[in-house]
Structure 1
Amino acid sequence: MEHILGECEAAGRAHLWSLAENFLRQRDVDIPNEPTATLQLGAPLCEAKDEEGDARIGETRLLRIVMSETTYLVWKVRCERVVEWEAEPEREHSKPELTERWYAAINARLELDMKKSDKRLAGKRATPTQRVLATWTGSLQNESDLPDDWTGVMGVLVGRPAVRPNG
């Protein structure tokens, strides 16, 4: 597990973690580039803190989501490469494919949060809208064009870097 999540030199792992790091940097949240397996598996315990050492609730929740989703995607692409592509050992995931898959995973979590905040869909178990807003605000595409409560707006996506990586 330590090798797969934290040491493997195969293409993909480092790129996925650089996407996570750059995305979180938008919200002034730092993670180590290519975190260890221990840190990845301990993601639910991670906290984003302010200068005084107090937890930043929205940023902490976003950090945990991004860490968990990135770890899972690292695992999935490794399994594809080793198991599904066993007969093609030279085959690797391209950076554009990995980038698209990472953003798709993060956007799927955003969409799930939006659905879970809808009291008509989730009922008593609905995630408070303020929690969803605190988690994702500051990370969205065209955010200035969105209403203050964008949780019911279809087509909201997480922000992407202004310049997409080449390759």
Structure 2
Amino acid sequence: MSNLTRRSTSEELADPKTVTREDVLSRLTEWRQRVHELYDDIEQALQGHGFQFDREGKHTTSEGLVQAAGVTPEEQPKIDILRIVRPDGTNAANFFPRGPWVIGANGQVDLRLSPSAGRSHAFTLMDQSGPFSNPFWIRMPVGSPFEREPFDPAWLLSKIDEQRSR
């Protein structure tokens, strides 16, 4: 499928038989790039605040389109799981990429904020762009899908700082 005829995620999910193995591998490669660019932006915004960044964890997807296309986990581009660690070695936040095929979006990343004490807070980041477009990440608290706002790494820093001061 050429870039001129790229279909939306919803269209691909509605008619999966027309999605080729090459389409799936191309989307997964592009998904990896978008997620890693998001992580780069986050790391840049948090530099100089004493955090460590751990991308050692890797994720591959088992979404239906990937399985239907016969793409094995070994063939998939490995997508980093980002862990942000406080100076004391405790987790401040974890970003877990879910996959590019989400109805109404161009991918989902789960975010869990871990305060030094107390209950963690879960958010969903959704890319509202179309396939092979510049990403537009929005965030929403899990359980409150209508509380959507553009994701900004400065917001993340403020939330982590807020957790530190409690």
Q: TM-score w.r.t. structure 2 length? A: 0.30
More helix by share: 1
Q: Name the structure where strand makes up a greater proportion of residues.
A: 2
User: Bigger relative contact order, structure 1 or 2, given CA contacts below 8 A and separation 6+?
Assistant: 1
TM-score scaled by structure 1? 0.30
